[in-house]
Structure 1
């Protein structure tokens, strides 16, 4: 909650904490882990199609680092990620996440203006809570397989089931 509160002060448009921050927490809980699996970074995503400074994400990372120095922040404007991914422009954060390699990573959480938790999950949450790692057919299967292997998910969370060629 402290991370979510901190990020909520950034005032970035459509700003969420996403990916492993949420996914790992769920998988740790469902595996009965007493301590959280360490994160390589904390992913903060936002959507600002009017942003003209291509290095703005680095400025946002520095701002968050000044507030929480021990965290490796990764801030990305999803409005420009379509260029790197070779996709049509994304319409919002939810649309951008719908292009991520595995469905269970495409989950984001924030504290809204009323102090409530808001969750985005373009593929829903069922497969996340069913301990699946599901290939997103919008992405090449080799990218998915490489991520599953390199991130060591099946060792960290042995109850996971890999689902390929899912629609």
Structure 2
């Protein structure tokens, strides 16, 4: 079976094209940004709060299409001023890094709210959640928020392993064609 990160990429793929603007809201080691670039998108905005990880990842990616910010993803509305085709969040902590530095429920929900405003009609957002002990509360808050989204404006789906409550899972959101603010 594919990983949830791979499933999230499959979910986002229909929103990607050569003029697409994308957001990797949790850059880390750059796997999601590398995926966007491999799909030939026009630009990727990336957020990472750890300066050393951001610098190492940007060096590894080495692509001028990536505009990275050493800021929390909840600030995206102050840095991005164009509609977004696809956006991804991988919540929790950066693998092989300090697990005490991780995403937080309150700022994650704010970032999702701001991201949905930036998303184009038919744009997609992938949320990969990890319900380990420290991520359980964050996952619960995020689920509560996305369940409150209007079904007339958004389609919200969930993909998870039913026989393992601790495995990562995916929430996919698509802004509907007829969306009007």
Fold agreement, TM-score > 0.5: no
**TM-score normalised by L of structure 2:** 0.32
Q: Which structure dedicates a bigger proportion of its chain to strand?
A: 2
**TM-score normalised by L of structure 1:** 0.34
